[in-house]
Amino acid sequence: MLNRKEFFAVVIISIVLGLIISLVKDVNIFLMTTLFVFIAIIANIIAKKIFSFYLDTDIEIKIWEIKQFGVKKHLHFKNFIQAGIFVPLIVKFISVGLINWMACLTFDASGKVYRAAKRHGIYSFSEVSEEEMGWIASAGIITNILLSIVAYLVGAEVLAKISMTYAFFNIIPAFDWDGAKIFFGNVTLWSFLAIISLMGLIATFAIV
């Protein structure tokens, strides 16, 4: 389901987030944290992949990149900056270890070759609409929320906190994150998921 490039992107981000969350106080804690991050990310991605399949859409997971800076399009870096790797480390340092930034991955979506003919007629466009992008992204957020609830019920409290935190940061409507895709696709859905994610985050930190 994941190609080699996507798999390595997930592994890299899992290690980075495992590092900043655990602060490598202990090797076993670091490995366990990295595993839980990996599980939360994989659950998110699998949900998106499944939902995109039923929309006759292909999605490709990638590390969040930044090229443009400022408002004007001509203001950009020479090469893409792997923000998904560096931003969590910078935020962790600036916040003196208080904030574990977890919005690190994005995805691109494209209609399958037969999408236009199957859904709209042979001469119709096959682009993925903003609403469909939003539904695909929301599948990942919803899955992380459900995973957090299940993890808490079975006693995996660390996984519950990590999964809910991952959902919360990715619902932020900025850059190319899931939150932005959901917001521009269906603002009502985004509002609902944002409230649930915030409430869930507060609950996990208050209870767990």
Mind listing the pLDDT tens digit for each residue in 55-68?
A: 888 899 999 988 75
Burial class (CB in 10 A: 0-12, 13-18, 19+), 169: buried
pLDDT digits (tens, 9 = 90+) for 3-23: 899 999 999 999 999 999 998
CA distances from 109 to 68, 97, 123, 181 (A): 21, 34, 20, 11
User: With b meaning 16 or more CB within 10 Å and e meaning fewer, what string describes 187-196?
Assistant: eebbeebbeb
User: How many domains, the chain?
Assistant: 1
The span from the CA of 38 to the CA of 56, in Å, is 26
Residue with tokens 């090469």: 79
Question: Structural domain of residue 102, as residue ranges?
Answer: 4-207
pTM: 0.88
Residue 111: what pLDDT? 72
Q: Is the pLDDT of residue 120 over 60?
A: no
Pick 41 or 27 by higher pLDDT. 41
Residue with tokens 């944290």: 33
